[in-house]
Amino acid sequence: MIGTLRGLIAEKLSDTLILEVGGVGYELLTTVDDWGAAQVGAETKYYVYEQVKEDAYNLFGFSELSSKLLFAQLLTVQGVGPKGAMSILSAAGENRLRQAIASGDPALLKGISGVGPKTAQRVILDLRGKVEEGTAGLAPLGDSTYQALVALGYTPAQASAAVAAIPDDIKGDADRVKAALKGIGR
């Protein structure tokens, strides 16, 4: 499986990016925000979700691990596939979507093309309590170390405390996760 890709953005197509890695161009479907922020020629890292089907192979790219993890959580909701999850993330934005889920308000989702009232309600009901609200004062949602710890089953409070205890001189996602796990005692 492909977890991340780092390379140069070779092209921006109508709704995808071509990321060149070692001479190979990978076509990534991205959120509207990630597509808008991408600049041709810039070196960028994307967290990747692979969709392998009998008749298709799609790569979904996210500039932040927290977006990929939220995308994966959306896929657990009955009736939401990868393209639907990408539409929801693109239309709502990560933080607004987290706020809507945390507050139990499906109104934001109902206005998204392809998301009916039943699906909107299902997203809220299935993910409420599983998704942290994206506002100031809560854990750093963009911190990949925090997101990795939450994905490993630690509570948001445990993950926040572990991230806060990591010495500033430790850089790199893998090293930060190792340091956090040592701090937790695992």
78 shares its domain with 44: no
Domain of 29, CATH number, reads 2.40.50.140
Q: pTM value?
A: 0.69
Pairing of strands 24-30, 57-62: parallel
Q: DSSP alpha helices (H): ranges in the chain?
A: 32-37, 65-75, 82-92, 94-103, 107-110, 117-127, 144-151, 156-164, 173-184
- What three-state secondary structure class fits 47? strand
- From the list 147, 142, 98, 160, the residue with the least C-alpha distance to 123 is 98
| Total number of domains in the chain | 3
Question: pLDDT at residue 153 above 60?
Answer: yes
Of 21, 44, 62, which marks where a domain is finished? 62
What count of residues does the chain have? 186
Of 22, 40, 62, which marks where a domain is finished? 62
Tell me how many degrees the CA angle 78-84-89 measures, rounded to the nearest 5.
110
- Residues 77-134: tens digit of each pLDDT: 998 999 999 999 999 888 889 888 888 888 888 878 888 889 999 999 999 888 765 5
Query: Is residue 138 situated within a structural domain?
Result: no
- Residues 132-143: tens digit of each pLDDT: 655 333 344 457
Of 25, 46, 62, which marks where a domain is finished? 62
Query: Is residue 18 situated within a structural domain?
Result: yes
Average pLDDT over residues 147-176: 80
19 shares its domain with 71: no
- The overall average pLDDT reported for the chain is 86
Provide the sign of the torsion angle of the four alpha carbons 31, 32, 33, 38, taken in this order: positive
Structural domain for 166, as ranges? 144-184
